[in-house]
Amino acid sequence: MQDDASSVSHAGQIPQGPFLLHAFPRLPCNFVQPPTTDHQPTTSMLNIAVIGTGHLGSIHAKLWKEQEGANLTAIVDPDEVKGRAVAEQHGVAWYPHLDAMPDVDAVVIAAPTTYHHALALRSLERGFHTFIEKPVTATYDEAVELLAKASSLDLVVQVGHVERFNPAVRSLAPYKIEPLFIDGHRLATFKPRAIDVRVVQDLMIHDIDQLLWMTASEVVDVQATGVAVLTETPDICNARLTFANGCVANLTASRISIKPMRKLRVFQRDSYLSLDLGEGSVEMFRLIDHNALEPEHQFPITNVQTSHGDRMIVMDQPTVVATNAIFEEQRSFIDSITSNTRAAVTLRDGAEAVRVAEQIESLL
Protein backbone atom coordinates (compact mmCIF):
# COMPACT_ATOMS: atom_id res chain seq x y z
CA MET A 1 0.00 0.00 0.00
CA GLN A 2 1.07 3.60 -0.32
CA ASP A 3 3.65 4.71 2.20
CA ASP A 4 2.25 6.79 5.05
CA ALA A 5 4.63 9.26 6.65
CA SER A 6 2.83 8.80 9.95
CA SER A 7 3.88 5.16 9.99
CA VAL A 8 7.62 5.87 9.87
CA SER A 9 9.30 5.22 13.20
CA HIS A 10 12.06 7.33 14.68
CA ALA A 11 14.74 6.10 17.03
CA GLY A 12 13.32 5.41 20.45
CA GLN A 13 9.69 5.83 19.40
CA ILE A 14 6.80 3.50 18.68
CA PRO A 15 4.71 4.47 15.63
CA GLN A 16 1.08 5.28 16.27
CA GLY A 17 -1.90 4.18 14.24
CA PRO A 18 -5.47 2.97 14.54
CA PHE A 19 -4.39 -0.62 15.24
CA LEU A 20 -1.80 0.38 17.84
CA LEU A 21 -1.73 2.61 20.92
CA HIS A 22 -5.15 3.90 19.96
CA ALA A 23 -5.80 5.31 23.41
CA PHE A 24 -2.23 5.59 24.66
CA PRO A 25 0.42 8.31 24.31
CA ARG A 26 3.47 7.74 22.15
CA LEU A 27 6.15 6.26 24.43
CA PRO A 28 9.89 5.71 24.05
CA CYS A 29 10.70 2.06 23.42
CA ASN A 30 12.65 1.79 26.66
CA PHE A 31 9.44 2.54 28.58
CA VAL A 32 7.89 -0.64 27.21
CA GLN A 33 8.24 -3.73 29.34
CA PRO A 34 11.07 -5.81 27.78
CA PRO A 35 9.87 -8.94 26.00
CA THR A 36 10.85 -12.32 27.34
CA THR A 37 13.27 -14.19 25.10
CA ASP A 38 12.12 -17.62 26.28
CA HIS A 39 8.44 -17.16 25.49
CA GLN A 40 6.64 -20.49 25.44
CA PRO A 41 2.94 -21.32 25.14
CA THR A 42 1.39 -21.56 28.58
CA THR A 43 -1.00 -24.31 27.51
CA SER A 44 -1.01 -27.16 25.03
CA MET A 45 -3.10 -24.94 22.75
CA LEU A 46 -1.58 -21.86 21.13
CA ASN A 47 -3.71 -18.79 21.79
CA ILE A 48 -3.95 -16.77 18.57
CA ALA A 49 -5.06 -13.20 17.85
CA VAL A 50 -5.85 -11.91 14.36
CA ILE A 51 -5.22 -8.22 13.71
CA GLY A 52 -7.29 -6.80 10.87
CA THR A 53 -10.69 -7.90 9.58
CA GLY A 54 -10.40 -7.10 5.90
CA HIS A 55 -10.59 -9.76 3.21
CA LEU A 56 -7.49 -11.68 4.30
CA GLY A 57 -7.97 -11.13 8.02
CA SER A 58 -11.46 -12.60 7.86
CA ILE A 59 -10.13 -15.66 6.02
CA HIS A 60 -7.38 -16.09 8.60
CA ALA A 61 -9.88 -15.90 11.46
CA LYS A 62 -12.12 -18.54 9.87
CA LEU A 63 -9.25 -20.95 9.20
CA TRP A 64 -7.63 -20.48 12.61
CA LYS A 65 -10.87 -21.71 14.16
CA GLU A 66 -10.34 -24.96 12.24
CA GLN A 67 -6.71 -25.52 13.25
CA GLU A 68 -5.80 -28.28 15.69
CA GLY A 69 -3.43 -27.12 18.38
CA ALA A 70 -4.54 -23.50 18.12
CA ASN A 71 -7.24 -21.47 19.81
CA LEU A 72 -8.42 -18.22 18.23
CA THR A 73 -8.98 -15.97 21.23
CA ALA A 74 -9.05 -12.39 19.94
CA ILE A 75 -9.84 -10.14 16.99
CA VAL A 76 -8.20 -6.71 16.83
CA ASP A 77 -9.56 -3.95 14.61
CA PRO A 78 -10.14 -0.23 15.27
CA ASP A 79 -13.39 -0.46 13.29
CA GLU A 80 -15.76 -1.59 16.03
CA VAL A 81 -18.55 -2.65 13.68
CA LYS A 82 -16.33 -4.85 11.53
CA GLY A 83 -14.21 -6.05 14.43
CA ARG A 84 -17.14 -7.05 16.63
CA ALA A 85 -18.90 -8.74 13.71
CA VAL A 86 -15.95 -11.04 12.99
CA ALA A 87 -15.30 -11.64 16.70
CA GLU A 88 -18.94 -12.57 17.35
CA GLN A 89 -18.98 -14.81 14.29
CA HIS A 90 -16.22 -16.89 15.84
CA GLY A 91 -17.17 -16.50 19.49
CA VAL A 92 -14.06 -14.60 20.57
CA ALA A 93 -13.24 -11.24 22.12
CA TRP A 94 -12.85 -8.01 20.13
CA TYR A 95 -10.29 -5.32 20.96
CA PRO A 96 -9.87 -1.92 19.28
CA HIS A 97 -6.07 -2.03 19.28
CA LEU A 98 -3.17 -4.31 20.12
CA ASP A 99 -2.32 -2.68 23.44
CA ALA A 100 -5.83 -3.30 24.77
CA MET A 101 -5.48 -7.03 24.18
CA PRO A 102 -4.25 -9.43 26.88
CA ASP A 103 -1.28 -11.69 26.25
CA VAL A 104 -1.52 -14.44 23.65
CA ASP A 105 1.03 -16.85 22.23
CA ALA A 106 0.99 -15.54 18.67
CA VAL A 107 -0.55 -12.84 16.52
CA VAL A 108 -1.44 -12.74 12.84
CA ILE A 109 -0.98 -9.29 11.32
CA ALA A 110 -3.44 -8.88 8.45
CA ALA A 111 -3.89 -5.13 8.79
CA PRO A 112 -3.08 -2.72 5.92
CA THR A 113 0.61 -2.83 4.98
CA THR A 114 1.18 0.70 6.31
CA TYR A 115 0.76 -0.63 9.85
CA HIS A 116 2.75 -3.89 9.56
CA HIS A 117 6.01 -2.39 10.85
CA ALA A 118 4.53 -0.78 13.95
CA LEU A 119 2.33 -3.75 14.80
CA ALA A 120 5.14 -6.26 14.34
CA LEU A 121 7.51 -4.26 16.53
CA ARG A 122 4.92 -4.07 19.29
CA SER A 123 4.06 -7.76 18.95
CA LEU A 124 7.71 -8.74 19.30
CA GLU A 125 8.17 -6.38 22.24
CA ARG A 126 5.29 -8.14 23.99
CA GLY A 127 6.93 -11.51 23.33
CA PHE A 128 4.47 -12.87 20.77
CA HIS A 129 5.32 -15.16 17.90
CA THR A 130 4.33 -13.14 14.85
CA PHE A 131 2.86 -13.96 11.45
CA ILE A 132 2.91 -10.98 9.05
CA GLU A 133 0.95 -10.93 5.82
CA LYS A 134 2.80 -9.94 2.67
CA PRO A 135 4.34 -7.57 1.90
CA VAL A 136 6.08 -7.81 5.24
CA THR A 137 6.42 -4.02 5.48
CA ALA A 138 5.76 -0.95 3.35
CA THR A 139 9.49 -0.32 2.86
CA TYR A 140 12.74 -2.27 2.94
CA ASP A 141 14.11 -0.01 5.69
CA GLU A 142 11.19 -0.99 7.92
CA ALA A 143 11.88 -4.66 7.21
CA VAL A 144 15.54 -4.21 8.18
CA GLU A 145 14.45 -2.66 11.48
CA LEU A 146 12.23 -5.66 12.16
CA LEU A 147 15.12 -7.99 11.38
CA ALA A 148 17.30 -6.18 13.89
CA LYS A 149 14.57 -6.41 16.52
CA ALA A 150 13.79 -10.08 15.93
CA SER A 151 17.42 -11.22 15.78
CA SER A 152 17.80 -11.07 19.56
CA LEU A 153 14.50 -12.79 20.36
CA ASP A 154 13.63 -16.46 20.52
CA LEU A 155 10.40 -15.94 18.61
CA VAL A 156 9.08 -17.31 15.33
CA VAL A 157 8.37 -14.67 12.68
CA GLN A 158 6.74 -15.91 9.48
CA VAL A 159 5.76 -13.91 6.40
CA GLY A 160 2.62 -14.71 4.44
CA HIS A 161 4.02 -15.52 1.02
CA VAL A 162 1.24 -18.03 0.57
CA GLU A 163 2.25 -19.28 -2.89
CA ARG A 164 5.02 -21.29 -1.20
CA PHE A 165 2.15 -23.48 0.06
CA ASN A 166 0.31 -23.69 -3.25
CA PRO A 167 -0.35 -27.38 -4.02
CA ALA A 168 1.29 -27.00 -7.44
CA VAL A 169 4.46 -25.58 -5.91
CA ARG A 170 4.60 -28.17 -3.14
CA SER A 171 4.32 -30.98 -5.68
CA LEU A 172 7.79 -30.05 -6.95
CA ALA A 173 9.49 -31.04 -3.69
CA PRO A 174 10.84 -34.38 -5.03
CA TYR A 175 12.35 -32.72 -8.11
CA LYS A 176 15.58 -30.84 -8.63
CA ILE A 177 14.72 -27.27 -9.62
CA GLU A 178 17.57 -25.26 -11.17
CA PRO A 179 15.94 -22.60 -13.37
CA LEU A 180 17.72 -21.02 -16.32
CA PHE A 181 14.76 -18.89 -17.42
CA ILE A 182 11.41 -18.17 -15.75
CA ASP A 183 8.37 -16.51 -17.28
CA GLY A 184 5.59 -15.43 -14.92
CA HIS A 185 2.17 -13.86 -15.43
CA ARG A 186 -0.02 -12.72 -12.55
CA LEU A 187 -3.13 -11.00 -13.84
CA ALA A 188 -6.11 -9.84 -11.80
CA THR A 189 -9.40 -8.18 -12.63
CA PHE A 190 -9.84 -4.56 -11.60
CA LYS A 191 -11.05 -4.04 -8.03
CA PRO A 192 -11.63 -0.38 -7.06
CA ARG A 193 -11.25 -1.23 -3.36
CA ALA A 194 -7.62 -2.27 -3.90
CA ILE A 195 -6.25 0.69 -5.87
CA ASP A 196 -4.26 2.02 -2.91
CA VAL A 197 -2.03 -1.07 -3.24
CA ARG A 198 0.81 -0.79 -5.74
CA VAL A 199 0.65 -3.56 -8.32
CA VAL A 200 4.25 -4.65 -7.68
CA GLN A 201 3.79 -4.90 -3.91
CA ASP A 202 0.33 -6.43 -4.14
CA LEU A 203 0.66 -8.90 -7.03
CA MET A 204 4.16 -9.21 -8.44
CA ILE A 205 5.73 -9.66 -5.01
CA HIS A 206 4.26 -13.19 -4.87
CA ASP A 207 6.33 -14.18 -7.88
CA ILE A 208 9.39 -12.24 -6.71
CA ASP A 209 9.42 -14.42 -3.61
CA GLN A 210 8.95 -17.56 -5.71
CA LEU A 211 11.93 -16.62 -7.89
CA LEU A 212 14.19 -15.84 -4.95
CA TRP A 213 13.23 -19.17 -3.39
CA MET A 214 13.59 -21.25 -6.55
CA THR A 215 16.90 -19.76 -7.65
CA ALA A 216 18.45 -19.38 -4.18
CA SER A 217 20.37 -16.53 -5.77
CA GLU A 218 20.60 -12.75 -5.50
CA VAL A 219 19.13 -10.36 -8.05
CA VAL A 220 21.98 -8.45 -9.71
CA ASP A 221 20.14 -6.53 -12.42
CA VAL A 222 16.62 -5.15 -12.77
CA GLN A 223 14.84 -3.70 -15.77
CA ALA A 224 11.21 -2.67 -15.57
CA THR A 225 8.45 -0.72 -17.22
CA GLY A 226 4.88 0.01 -16.22
CA VAL A 227 1.95 2.21 -17.11
CA ALA A 228 -0.94 3.77 -15.22
CA VAL A 229 -4.18 3.05 -17.07
CA LEU A 230 -7.07 3.40 -14.63
CA THR A 231 -5.35 4.79 -11.53
CA GLU A 232 -2.57 7.22 -10.62
CA THR A 233 0.08 4.51 -10.23
CA PRO A 234 1.14 1.72 -12.62
CA ASP A 235 -1.67 -0.79 -13.13
CA ILE A 236 0.45 -3.11 -15.23
CA CYS A 237 4.16 -3.79 -14.88
CA ASN A 238 6.76 -5.93 -16.60
CA ALA A 239 10.12 -6.65 -14.97
CA ARG A 240 13.18 -8.52 -16.17
CA LEU A 241 15.39 -9.82 -13.37
CA THR A 242 18.88 -11.26 -13.74
CA PHE A 243 20.26 -13.40 -10.93
CA ALA A 244 23.83 -13.93 -9.82
CA ASN A 245 23.67 -17.59 -10.88
CA GLY A 246 22.77 -16.58 -14.44
CA CYS A 247 19.04 -17.25 -14.33
CA VAL A 248 16.87 -14.64 -16.05
CA ALA A 249 13.20 -14.07 -15.21
CA ASN A 250 10.48 -12.12 -16.95
CA LEU A 251 7.49 -11.15 -14.78
CA THR A 252 4.25 -9.44 -15.72
CA ALA A 253 1.69 -8.26 -13.18
CA SER A 254 -1.60 -6.55 -14.00
CA ARG A 255 -4.65 -5.50 -12.01
CA ILE A 256 -6.71 -4.51 -15.07
CA SER A 257 -7.15 -7.82 -16.86
CA ILE A 258 -10.39 -9.33 -18.11
CA LYS A 259 -9.53 -12.79 -16.83
CA PRO A 260 -7.32 -13.71 -13.85
CA MET A 261 -4.15 -15.72 -14.40
CA ARG A 262 -1.40 -16.98 -12.09
CA LYS A 263 1.15 -18.93 -14.10
CA LEU A 264 4.86 -19.64 -13.90
CA ARG A 265 6.84 -21.33 -16.66
CA VAL A 266 10.24 -22.64 -15.63
CA PHE A 267 12.90 -23.66 -18.15
CA GLN A 268 15.95 -25.60 -17.00
CA ARG A 269 18.40 -28.08 -18.42
CA ASP A 270 16.49 -31.07 -19.84
CA SER A 271 13.11 -30.01 -18.48
CA TYR A 272 10.26 -27.52 -18.72
CA LEU A 273 7.64 -26.89 -16.02
CA SER A 274 4.35 -25.06 -16.35
CA LEU A 275 2.64 -24.19 -13.07
CA ASP A 276 -0.93 -22.95 -13.01
CA LEU A 277 -1.08 -21.51 -9.50
CA GLY A 278 -4.73 -20.55 -9.89
CA GLU A 279 -5.79 -24.08 -10.78
CA GLY A 280 -3.16 -25.77 -8.60
CA SER A 281 -1.85 -27.89 -11.47
CA VAL A 282 1.54 -28.73 -13.00
CA GLU A 283 2.71 -29.86 -16.41
CA MET A 284 6.29 -31.10 -16.65
CA PHE A 285 8.18 -32.20 -19.72
CA ARG A 286 11.59 -33.83 -19.34
CA LEU A 287 14.32 -35.18 -21.57
CA ILE A 288 15.45 -38.54 -20.17
CA ASP A 289 17.27 -41.72 -21.12
CA HIS A 290 15.05 -44.57 -22.28
CA ASN A 291 16.07 -46.73 -19.33
CA ALA A 292 15.01 -43.98 -16.89
CA LEU A 293 11.33 -44.08 -17.84
CA GLU A 294 8.96 -44.45 -14.88
CA PRO A 295 5.73 -45.52 -16.59
CA GLU A 296 3.53 -45.09 -13.51
CA HIS A 297 3.71 -41.30 -13.84
CA GLN A 298 5.69 -40.56 -17.03
CA PHE A 299 4.24 -40.67 -20.54
CA PRO A 300 6.54 -40.83 -23.60
CA ILE A 301 5.98 -38.01 -26.11
CA THR A 302 8.72 -38.47 -28.71
CA ASN A 303 12.27 -39.66 -29.25
CA VAL A 304 15.09 -37.17 -29.67
CA GLN A 305 18.57 -37.75 -31.08
CA THR A 306 21.10 -35.85 -28.96
CA SER A 307 24.87 -35.71 -28.59
CA HIS A 308 24.38 -38.11 -25.68
CA GLY A 309 22.52 -40.62 -27.84
CA ASP A 310 18.89 -41.46 -28.41
CA ARG A 311 16.71 -40.02 -25.63
CA MET A 312 13.03 -39.36 -25.12
CA ILE A 313 10.81 -36.48 -24.10
CA VAL A 314 8.29 -37.51 -21.49
CA MET A 315 5.41 -35.76 -19.79
CA ASP A 316 5.83 -36.13 -16.05
CA GLN A 317 2.90 -35.77 -13.70
CA PRO A 318 3.88 -34.64 -10.20
CA THR A 319 1.45 -35.67 -7.50
CA VAL A 320 -0.60 -32.61 -6.58
CA VAL A 321 -2.49 -32.90 -3.29
CA ALA A 322 -5.38 -30.44 -3.11
CA THR A 323 -5.04 -28.30 0.01
CA ASN A 324 -5.91 -24.81 1.22
CA ALA A 325 -2.65 -22.84 0.98
CA ILE A 326 -3.54 -20.40 3.78
CA PHE A 327 -4.53 -23.26 6.07
CA GLU A 328 -1.21 -24.97 5.30
CA GLU A 329 0.86 -21.86 6.00
CA GLN A 330 -0.95 -21.50 9.33
CA ARG A 331 -0.14 -25.14 10.05
CA SER A 332 3.51 -24.47 9.24
CA PHE A 333 3.52 -21.49 11.63
CA ILE A 334 2.15 -23.69 14.42
CA ASP A 335 4.74 -26.38 13.72
CA SER A 336 7.60 -23.87 13.80
CA ILE A 337 6.44 -22.54 17.16
CA THR A 338 5.88 -25.91 18.81
CA SER A 339 9.12 -27.40 17.47
CA ASN A 340 11.15 -24.19 17.97
CA THR A 341 12.37 -24.24 14.36
CA ARG A 342 12.81 -21.57 11.72
CA ALA A 343 9.73 -20.39 9.85
CA ALA A 344 9.12 -21.77 6.37
CA VAL A 345 9.05 -18.20 5.05
CA THR A 346 11.40 -16.14 7.16
CA LEU A 347 11.46 -12.46 7.96
CA ARG A 348 14.63 -12.21 5.87
CA ASP A 349 12.77 -13.81 2.94
CA GLY A 350 10.05 -11.20 3.23
CA ALA A 351 12.57 -8.36 3.48
CA GLU A 352 14.42 -9.50 0.36
CA ALA A 353 11.18 -9.63 -1.63
CA VAL A 354 10.40 -6.05 -0.59
CA ARG A 355 13.95 -4.97 -1.53
CA VAL A 356 13.56 -6.33 -5.07
CA ALA A 357 10.05 -4.88 -5.35
CA GLU A 358 11.42 -1.44 -4.43
CA GLN A 359 14.12 -1.78 -7.09
CA ILE A 360 11.43 -2.49 -9.68
CA GLU A 361 9.22 0.37 -8.50
CA SER A 362 12.12 2.82 -8.64
CA LEU A 363 12.25 2.27 -12.41
CA LEU A 364 8.55 2.88 -13.08
Question: For 288-321, how does the pLDDT look when each residue is reduced to its tens digit (9 = 90+)?
Answer: 887 777 777 787 788 887 777 788 888 888 889 9
Of 285 and 305, the structure prediction assigns the larger pLDDT to 285
What residues form DSSP beta bridges with 315? 285, 299
Helix axes 55-64, 80-90, angle to 10 degrees: 20
**What is the maximum span of the chain, computed from C-alpha positions, in angstroms?**
75
Question: For 83-114, how does the pLDDT look when each residue is reduced to its tens digit (9 = 90+)?
Answer: 999 999 999 999 999 999 999 999 999 999 99
Domain that residue 197 falls in:
165-321
Q: Are residues 148 and 217 both part of a single domain?
A: no
Q: Are residues 111 and 61 both part of a single domain?
A: yes
* pLDDT surpasses 50 at 42: no
**pLDDT of 226:** 96
Q: Which of 123, 93, 94, 109 is nearest to 21 (CA)?
A: 123
**pLDDT of 197:** 72
What residues form DSSP beta bridges with 316? 284, 298
Q: Is residue 156 part of a domain?
A: yes
Phi, psi of 14 (to 5 degrees): -105, 125
What residues form DSSP beta bridges with 75? 50, 94
**pLDDT of 131:** 99
Q: Are residues 55 and 71 both part of a single domain?
A: yes
Q: Are residues 63 and 173 both part of a single domain?
A: no
**pLDDT of 215:** 96
Q: Are residues 56 and 83 both part of a single domain?
A: yes
**pLDDT of 5:** 32
DSSP 83-131: HHHHHHHHT-EEESSGGGSPP-SEEEE-S-GGGHHHHHHHHHHTT-EEE
39: confidence class by pLDDT, cuts 50, 70, 90: very low
Q: Which CATH number is 55's domain given?
A: 3.40.50.720
Q: Are residues 157 and 174 both part of a single domain?
A: no
Find which of 21-25, 27-31, 120-124 is predicted with most confidence, using mean pLDDT. Answer: 120-124
Cβ-in-10-Å burial (0-12, 13-18, 19+) of 28 comes to exposed
In the predicted model, what is the mean pLDDT of residues 3-10? 33
Q: Is residue 10 part of a domain?
A: yes
Q: Are residues 169 and 151 both part of a single domain?
A: no
**pLDDT of 299:** 77
Q: Is residue 158 part of a domain?
A: yes
Residue 252 half-sphere exposure, CB side, CA atoms within 13 Å? Answer: 13
Least confident of 33-37, 45-49, 146-150, 233-237: 33-37
Q: Are residues 60 and 200 both part of a single domain?
A: no
Q: Are residues 155 and 182 both part of a single domain?
A: no
In the predicted model, what is the mean pLDDT of residues 8-36? 38
**pLDDT of 287:** 87
Q: Are residues 201 and 317 both part of a single domain?
A: yes
d(CA 118, CA 155): 17
Q: Is residue 271 part of a domain?
A: yes
Q: Is residue 310 part of a domain?
A: yes
Give Cα separations from 314 to 175, 292, 296, 300, 321 (angstroms).
Answer: 15, 10, 12, 4, 22
Q: Is residue 157 part of a domain?
A: yes
Q: Are residues 180 and 223 both part of a single domain?
A: yes
Give the β-pairing of 181-187 and 261-268. antiparallel
Residues 72 and 94 sit within 8 Å (Cβ to Cβ): no
**pLDDT of 30:** 26
Q: Which of 214, 152, 98 is nearest to 347 (CA)?
A: 152
Give Cα separations from 167 to 86, 320, 353 (angstroms).
Answer: 28, 6, 21
Give Cα separations from 307 to 134, 286, 288 (angstroms).
Answer: 46, 16, 13
Question: For 118-139, how does the pLDDT look when each residue is reduced to its tens digit (9 = 90+)?
Answer: 999 999 999 999 999 999 999 9
Q: Which of 152, 121, 131, 136 is nearest to 70 (CA)?
A: 131
Distance of CA 162 to the CA centre of its chain: 5
**Number of folded domains in the chain?**
2
Q: Which CATH number is 264's domain given?
A: 3.30.360.10
Least confident of 37-46, 75-84, 170-179, 299-308: 37-46
- Average pLDDT value for the chain: 87
Report whether the peptide linkage leading into residue 135 is cis, meaning its omega lies within 30 degrees of zero: yes
Query: Whole-model pTM?
Result: 0.85
* pLDDT surpasses 70 at 22: no
In the predicted model, what is the mean pLDDT of residues 131-151? 96
What residues form DSSP beta bridges with 285? 272, 315
Q: Are residues 295 and 214 both part of a single domain?
A: yes
